[in-house]
Amino acid sequence: MLIIDPADLIPDRSEFEKIVSNHPFLKGLDRKISNVELEKAERPSVMVEGMEVILFLPKYQVVNDTVIYVLHHEFGHVADRFNEAFQYSETERSSLSAKKYWLENFLELWNVFIDSRLHAVGLFRLYGLSQISMKIDGKRRIVDRSIERVPLEHSSFLESRGFRDAHIVVNAITTVR
């Protein structure tokens, strides 16, 4: 696996390589990827084109627990795409764009699924803001973030996009081991 990082976004390539080769969702993921190109972005995300991965990241000064979590999360998407049991289909994903919020809801549920599996192996970390705005019992509130509240965050986001009873699906995903 070739790593293309012209902006030096990752200060420790060996840690990066270790995360990809030993990813808990798919061991040997590095052997399924021809190259990873890192591009500077404000928020982490990933694109997969065949065997090539484009990873969008902010510039990190050190590799700490949060960075390790971010890399595991983004490569969780890559691992799922390469895992035949996951049955990922770009065609089916593209078809979701036809309905308002369906693609956003799919991606949110996929993030829940990835984070719940990372949490099960002790790799999940809170990332981003320390407080967020969310609807609780029909009222918008500012709340402190916690690992225990993460399912509620996802449910609130999904319900704001028309997904009724999202908490039932989110709770089912986060309790499956």
Q: Examine the fold and report which residue of 83, 117, 132 is the final residue of a domain before the chain moves on.
A: 83
For residue 46 the two structure tokens come to: 């990933």
Which of 63, 62, 83, 82 is CA-nearest to residue 19? 63
Q: In terms of domains, do 149 and 79 share one?
A: no
Q: In terms of domains, do 79 and 97 share one?
A: no
Q: In terms of domains, do 61 and 135 share one?
A: no
Q: Examine the fold and report which residue of 51, 83, 115 is the final residue of a domain before the chain moves on.
A: 83
Q: In terms of domains, do 62 and 95 share one?
A: no
Q: In terms of domains, do 34 and 63 share one?
A: yes
In 3-state terms, what secondary structure has residue 54? strand
Q: In terms of domains, do 96 and 139 share one?
A: yes
Does residue 133 contact residue 142 with C-beta atoms inside 8 Å?
yes
Q: In terms of domains, do 40 and 79 share one?
A: yes
Q: In terms of domains, do 102 and 155 share one?
A: yes
Q: Examine the fold and report which residue of 66, 83, 100 is the final residue of a domain before the chain moves on.
A: 83
Mean pLDDT, consecutive 10-residue segments, the chain of 177 residues? 94 93 96 97 95 96 92 98 93 86 93 94 84 78 82 88 92 82
Q: In terms of domains, do 100 and 168 share one?
A: yes
Q: In terms of domains, do 50 and 124 share one?
A: no
Q: In terms of domains, do 61 and 130 share one?
A: no
Q: Residue 130: which domain range?
A: 90-175
Q: What is the pLDDT of residue 70?
A: 95
DSSP class of residue 172 equals: H
Q: In terms of domains, do 77 and 29 share one?
A: yes
Domain count, the chain: 2
Q: Across the strands, what pairs with 141?
A: 134
